[in-house]
Chain A
Amino acid sequence: MTLWRGIWAALALLSLGLAIFATVPAGWLWPPEAVQVPFAAWLTAGMKWLTESAAIGPVSVKDLTRGFATLIEAPYDLARVLLVDGITEGKGRRATTIIPPLSWVAVTVAAVALGHFARDIKLGLLAGALMIYLAVFGQWDSAMITLASIVIAVPLGVAGGMAMGIAAWRWKAVERALSPILDLMQTIPTFAFLVPILVLFGFGPVAALLATIIYAMPPMVRVTVVALRAVPSEIVDFANMAGCTPWQRMRKVMLPVALPDLMVGVNQVIMLSLNMVIIASMIGAGGLGADVLESLRRLNIGGGIEAGLAITALAVVLDRLGQAMSERVARAEVRTGNWWKRHPRTTLVLIVALVTGALGFLVPALQDWPKAWEITTKPFWSNLIEHININYFDQLEAMRVWFLENLLLPVKRFFLALPWPLMLALLALAGWRLGGWRLAALTLVLSGFVAATGLWEQAMITVYLCGVSVVIAMVLGVPLGIWAASSDGAGKVIGTVVDTLQTLPSFVYLIPVVMLFRVGDFSALIAVVLFAIVPAVKYTAHGLRSVPAELIEAGVVSGCTRWQMLWKVRLPMAVPMILLGLNQTILLALSMLVITALVGTRDLGQEVYAALATADVGRGLVAGLAVAAIAIIADRLIGAAAAGARARLEGAT
Chain B
Amino acid sequence: MNERPVKLACRHVWKIYGPHPERLLAGGKSPTSDQIRAADHVGAVRDVSLEVGEGEIFVIMGLSGSGKSTLVRCLSRLIEPTGGELLYDGEDLLKASPARMIEIRRHRMGMVFQHFALLPHLTVLENVAFPLEVQGMDREKREARAREVTQLVGLQAREGMYPRQLSGGQQQRVGIARSLAVEPDLWFLDEPFSALDPLIRREMQEEFLRIQRQLKKTIVFITHDFDEAIRLADRIAIMKDGAVVQVATPEELVLNPADDYVTAFTAHVPRAKVVTLGRVAAPGVPDVVAGMLPATARIEAVAEQIVTANAPFAVERDGAVIGHVTPAAVIAILIGKRE
Contacts and interface: CB of A to CB of B under 8 A. Distances in A.
B78 interface: yes
B119 A243 contact: no
The interface size bin for chain B is: 20 to 34
Interface in B87-141: 102-107, 109-111, 113-117, 119-121, 123, 130-131, 133-135
Interface stretch (A13-21, A61-69, A252-260, A424-432): A252-260
A248 B134 contact: yes
Interface in B167-188: 179, 188
Nearest to A244: B134
A102 to B, nearest CB: 32
B276 interface: no
Given A252-B134, A257-B120, A332-B160, A237 B102 contact: no
Contacts of A242: 105-106, 130-131, 134
B160 A241 contact: no
A237 B78 CA distance: 7
A332 B158 CA distance: 13
Contacts of B134: 242-244, 248, 252
A330 interface: yes
A232 B102 contact: no
A241 B121 contact: no
Given A245-B102, A256-B121, A237 B160 contact: no
A237 B73 contact: yes
A232 B76 CA distance: 18
Nearest to B107: A243
Contacts of A332: 123, 160-162
A237 B103 contact: no
B120 A240 contact: no
Contacts of A181: none
A495 B106 CA distance: 51
A234 interface: yes
Nearest to B104: A243
B94 to A, nearest CB: 15
B48 to A, nearest CB: 19
Given A243-B131, A257-B120, A238 B106 contact: no
Given A234-B113, A248-B134, A330-B162, A243 B121 contact: no
A169 B157 CA distance: 39
A235 interface: yes
Contacts of A240: 78, 105
Interface in A232-275: 232, 234-235, 237-238, 240-245, 248, 252-253, 256-257, 259
Interface of A is mostly: helix
A259 B133 CA distance: 21
B119 A241 contact: no
A497 to B, nearest CB: 35
Contacts of A177: none
B115 A238 contact: no
- Which residue, of B103, B107, B110, B117, has the highest number of chain A Cβ atoms within 10 A? B117
B111 A237 contact: yes
A446 B121 CA distance: 47
Contact of A237 (B107, B110, B117, B130): B117
Interface in B145-167: 160-162
Q: Is the interface of B mostly helix, strand, loop or mixed?
A: mixed
A235 B111 CA distance: 11
A242 B78 CA distance: 11
B251 to A, nearest CB: 33
A238 B107 CA distance: 14
A56 interface: no
Contact of B111 (A241, A244, A252, A256): A241
Contacts of B162: 330, 332
Interface in A200-256: 232, 234-235, 237-238, 240-245, 248, 252-253, 256
B132 to A, nearest CB: 9
B71 to A, nearest CB: 14
Contacts of A245: 102
B121 A330 contact: yes
A241 B76 contact: yes
Contacts of A334: 160
B111 A238 contact: yes
A257 B121 CA distance: 7
B117 A235 contact: yes
Nearest to B109: A241
A199 B76 CA distance: 56
Nearest to A253: B119
Nearest to A238: B117
A330 B123 CA distance: 11
Interface string B187-199: 0100000000000
Contacts of B107: 243
Contacts of A256: 119-121
Contacts of A257: 119-121
Given A253-B119, A256-B119, A241 B78 contact: yes
Contact of A243 (B73, B102, B114, B117): B102
Contacts of B179: 241
A277 to B, nearest CB: 32
B127 to A, nearest CB: 10
20 contacts: A232-B115, A232-B117, A234-B114, A234-B117, A235-B119, A238-B117, A240-B78, A241-B111, A241-B188, A243-B102, A243-B104, A243-B106, A243-B131, A244-B134, A252-B130, A256-B121, A257-B119, A257-B121, A332-B160, A332-B162
Given A234-B113, A243-B102, A257-B120, 5 more contacts: A235-B117, A237-B117, A256-B120, A257-B119, A332-B161
Closest 9 CB pairs of A and B: A243-B106, A234-B117, A243-B105, A242-B131, A238-B117, A241-B111, A234-B113, A256-B121, A243-B102
Interface of B: 73, 76, 78, 102-107, 109-111, 113-117, 119-121, 123, 130-131, 133-135, 160-162, 179, 188
